[in-house]
A and B are shown apart, each in its own frame.
Chain A
């Protein structure tokens, strides 16, 4: 293939661009790769039944189910269900050193407990609890102190759910902490990837896009990650 020597540089760029755009559609992706990514996601996040079913349906080999998968599932359920002491007891049984090593994580779990009390309207108990247990972490860590203050601030509002800090009472907060705990357990077990590899892929896309944007390069940009929508180049 030869390019004509064209004095008009723009035209050449356009042609080059459209040539490459077609090329990306031809890139081969292996279905096995995709299945492995999905499997990894399910196992890491603790969707055991789904993992087993998917393995069956996709005809994959026995996945590397880490021994703690069952425990991690139960722990996650306890955390998201607001049964924090139960979750803590299970973590301590599984990995007694984990919460001692990661005091910030311990604080987050205690914080969830506090939020449960606040959600249930038990304000006095909440304050007693905060001063008895959470104050310690707040004294040692500036971030913890800020988060503690935000949590306690909820008590100042007649309806915490409409306050500026209402995000703390949403289930998404509990899920976030549950994932934090899950990743910590996996790290303790020396698992290489404590987050699903899908996470790394998405982060890679976001990083690459921001680098390209910095250099003002035109490219097919993924504007909506959840739907993988690729916008038109401007």
Chain B
């Protein structure tokens, strides 16, 4: 007859713990029940009992197949209770091999039994812990098939527990594929059915939705399988569509919309599918409104950001919603990092491609202030999201000229970029900087003092071509119509050696922008002469490299055009003309290009020639003679006679007119 004492203190607990090791099954059973009753509900008792070292014995009693199933059951239930304790309790359990023991049990325990259910509940509790012991569950097909069988056939409690475990476990491609092979999609689909006229139960639906989402995330194969999986007469997308409606509990609708989003992004559903356009998208927009809790709104914004990240039609559709912008602005204003992150990302997605939407976003009350605050936020996730938002907005030329002039967004951006940024931040941040530099005004000169040039030059040395491109493009923008001291700074910092390297880059776009940089540096007469006089031999070499290699090589026409324009700019400088004239191979190339089939290139060559022969400059006579010797005059006359070059005739005539005195 069991004594029901009022309470257990530590001393008396020792006595019954000893009984756990007894050979008498009855005594063991009694001890187990007493232990169980003492730990349920009290973390203090759980900690005490764990520190007294009972866990190994409990695991033994749980796993030993020859033992009385009732003893195994009570032991498992007790373990399950310990797994609902403090994080430290669960750490101890995991460390002593509880998760592995439970998984082993599940391989042999009869389906549908109370023991199986207890084991699953315990495993589920352990897997709710962070980090979950995913290693305890190998991607073994037999085991997974067994688990998915449980998910299809067992009691409600068992099914929900196993699905929750699998949802946590499914963290990568290997797990996604393994689960699909084991039939987890159809098991999940079965849990998504809400019988008519019954109340949908979140505790049943949410785990299944989470599993489905985890499986489909960025996996086109699995997404295809999910698309075609049916339960009864409904496919998974149809089942999900039922769950995103207004009458369903909010968290269910959110998770269902998330599944549909993942299916769309993984390519199983097109962007114009009715379940996206009339299902997931409006649902997510609705969940962003003010009357919902902060958690729901933050999650909805994040999912909406992912859904609209790429497709312009979805961006436009979302932006039509008359409340979305103000709802998102309100979410940005919330306290939690998750909310700010979600809202910024959503703005970034919506404003990625469409100018009208960008305008709408900027006009949202007080947004720029939030963006600047976001850039200054100590949480790196928030600041990254704010940069993404800024990046999308910076694609608008109009905004560059107006809004961004008013708000000094570049200051916090520079700070972030100088503060050992991670690869993502570096990429998005430098792209943004690149755009901002398109409108480089005197107001932004302090940027130079913040080390913008150095940072950009460093970017050109990175192994990622996207970063190199951003770096050189930003420098090119910075040099456009800039003051001499800015150009000097760039030239000095980048160095002719690095420029040489960039001219030979594996990525053609980088070469283009490098040439563009050269062209911008070598514009404006005074600048050209100043630069050429200071750096003449290096720059000339560079120019030769640029021009000869590019013009000789099989580069696309626009690259060659750039090279010729550089030459033309140099040809404009007073003293620098001579530097070109001194290079015979460059001059020969020039003459060749006047006859090039590509009209752009003819025009560019003509530009160079025109500058070189200009009679108003000192030494024109000598130059003209030299060029005539190399066949320039003949080429010009041919051009004048050519019908295809009709649009160039004016310029040709002007060039020829320079020669009149001497022919």
| Interfacial residues, chain A to chain B (CB-CB below 8 A) | 83, 85-86, 88-89, 92, 96-97, 99-101, 103, 106, 110, 113, 117, 125, 129, 132-133, 136, 190, 192
Contact = CB atoms under 8 A, between A and B. Distances in A.
Contact of A129 (B4, B7, B42, B80): B7
A132 B7 contact: yes
8 contacts: A85-B6, A96-B36, A96-B77, A99-B41, A103-B41, A117-B6, A136-B42, A136-B44
B40 A192 contact: no
Interface in B207-221: none
A213 to B, nearest CB: 26
Interface string B1-28: 0001111010000000000000000000
Contacts of A106: 40-42
Which among A106, A110, A125, A133 has the greatest number of chain B C-beta atoms within 10 A?
Answer: A133
Contacts of A92: 36-37, 40
B4 A89 contact: yes
Given A96-B81, A97-B121, 5 more contacts: A86-B4, A88-B40, A106-B40, A129-B6, A133-B42
A14 B80 CA distance: 67
Contacts of A190: 156, 201
Which among B5, B7, B118 has the greatest number of chain A C-beta atoms within 10 A?
Answer: B7
A192 B195 CA distance: 14
Contacts of A192: 199
Interface of B: 4-7, 9, 33, 36-37, 40-44, 77, 80-81, 84, 118, 121, 156, 199, 201
A94 B7 CA distance: 21
Nearest to B5: A85
Contacts of B9: 132
Nearest to A85: B4
Contacts of B5: 85
Contact of A100 (B6, B81, B118): B81
Nearest to B34: A89
A92 B41 CA distance: 10
B40 to A, nearest CB: 5
Contacts of B42: 106, 133, 136
B36 A113 contact: no
A133 B7 contact: yes
A101 B80 CA distance: 12
Nearest to B204: A190
Given A96-B36, A96-B81, A113 B41 contact: no
A148 to B, nearest CB: 15
Contacts of B6: 85, 113, 117, 125, 129
A139 to B, nearest CB: 10
A117 B6 CA distance: 9
A163 B42 CA distance: 30
B1 to A, nearest CB: 12
B273 to A, nearest CB: 34
A110 B6 CA distance: 10
Contacts of A89: 4, 33, 37
A101 B4 contact: no
Contacts of B80: 96-97
A82 to B, nearest CB: 11
Which among A88, A96, A113, A136 has the greatest number of chain B C-beta atoms within 10 A?
Answer: A96
